[in-house]
Amino acid sequence: MMRAVVGIDPGKAGGVALITPTGASGLPMPLVGKEIDGRYLAQWLRRVGPELVIVEKVGAARVNGRPQGGTSMFTFGTGFGKLLGVLEAMGIPHRLVTPQTWKAVVLKGTAKDKAAAIEFVHRAYPLVDLMPGRCRTPQDGIADAVCLAEYGRQLMTREAE
């Protein structure tokens, strides 16, 4: 029986989500200043004890149709490496999954965009707070993290059959 699956949408605007047999929850990516808070993430992972973590495998992004700048790519890569380092150091099983792969499974039959991810979470996990704190709009980083965890949940269910 599945215990807990975590999904991580890396990056400062990303999120972290947990799916257990009793429900789901999500939170914005924990930050210290402008950097991912690896210590908080490690404490949270230790507390929730995931059986599997699904991390979105991403490459260089485009901003307004142009390649992301070198400094921001380096900053993102540093954060991504920190996430993987925490998982490796803690010995937590994890998989890197491309957006195309998890969206084909979780968002099948939709536009596979941010709105589709938010709609999926509202429908499948209505108790997940996509507008934490003072947010006025749903946070797609949290929604993507929930979708990544859902991908992991479905993967584990298939493997257990």
- Residues 93-102 have a mean pLDDT of 97
Structural domains counted in the chain: 1
Mean of all residue pLDDT scores within the chain: 90
Give the CA distances from residue 55 to residues 17, 21, 65, 130, in Å, rounded to whole numbers and listed in that order.
11, 20, 25, 19
Average pLDDT over residues 51-79: 72
Residue 129's pLDDT is what?
Answer: 96
pLDDT value at position 64? 53
Helix (H) or strand (E) holding 101: helix 99-106
Region for 65 from its dihedrals, namely left if φ exceeds 0, alpha if ψ lies in -120 to 50, beta otherwise: left
CATH number, domain with residue 96 = 3.30.420.10
Residue 89's pLDDT band, with cuts at 50, 70 and 90, is: very high
Q: Note down the domain range covering 55.
A: 5-160
| Distance from C-alpha of 60 to C-alpha of 157, rounded to nearest angstrom | 32
